[in-house]
Amino acid sequence: MRLSGKRVIALVDEEFEDLELWYPVHRVREEGAEVHLVGDKAGKTYIGKYGVPATSDYAFEDIDAGTYDGVLVPGGWAPDKLRRYEGVLSIIRGMDKAGKPIGQICHAGWVLISAKILQGRTVTSTPGIRDDMENAGATWLDQEVVVDGHLVSARRPPDLPAYGKAFCDKLAEG
């Protein structure tokens, strides 16, 4: 259990991509980390794009992100909502400043764009937001997973095995 004692935030909002939330959450948990789902309200049940529910443990303002070791941002349409919360942007900026692992997949890059942390970074995402990522100052690669320092990014659900492993590897380093 190489991630025992590690704590991870998994951000959630309506219409998250079901696999892109739950696969990394389960992958990190099976290595021993504690994962908390964090949304705009504590105890709220959010529904994924394909109907899978996720109930938040905490609200953004209820947590001290400094007590966590990493953050996972799912794709789907949730990132377009998540990027509008200052609490989310604060979590992402704090994790970035502390050099803690930030995992993002598919459309989750929108959250990192709004947090303004992509300048000079190398990432991937769904090809649909490639221009957005590049316009935010990132170098975009068409690869299943890209690791740049503490940023771990992936394109879409078929990339989940490589993404889950890369995120766990990065979390184990800290």
Q: Verify whether residue 107 is a known catalytic residue.
A: yes
User: pLDDT class for 174, splitting at 50, 70, 90?
Assistant: confident
- State the pTM of this model: 0.97
Going by the DSSP 8-state scheme, the letter that residue 73 receives in this structure is E
Q: How many angstroms separate the Cα of 127 from the Cα of each of 10, 82, 94, 115?
A: 23, 20, 27, 20
The fold of the 7-173 domain, in CATH, is Rossmann fold (3.40.50)
- The total of other beta-carbon atoms located within 10 Å of residue 14's CB is 18
- Position 171 confidence tier, pLDDT thresholds 50, 70, 90: very high
In percent, the amount of the chain with pLDDT more than 90 equals 99
Nearest to 125 by CA among 103, 142, 148, 100: 142
Choosing from 26, 36, 107, 150, which is the catalytic residue? 107
Domain ranges of the chain: 7-173
In this model, does residue 34 exceed pLDDT 90? yes
Give me the residue label for tokens 């078929």.
Answer: 158
- The confidence score (pLDDT) of residue 76 equals 97
Angle between helix 18-30 and helix 160-173 axes, rounded to 10 deg: 40
pLDDT digits (tens, 9 = 90+) for 109-167: 999 999 999 999 999 999 999 999 999 999 999 999 999 999 999 999 999 999 999 99
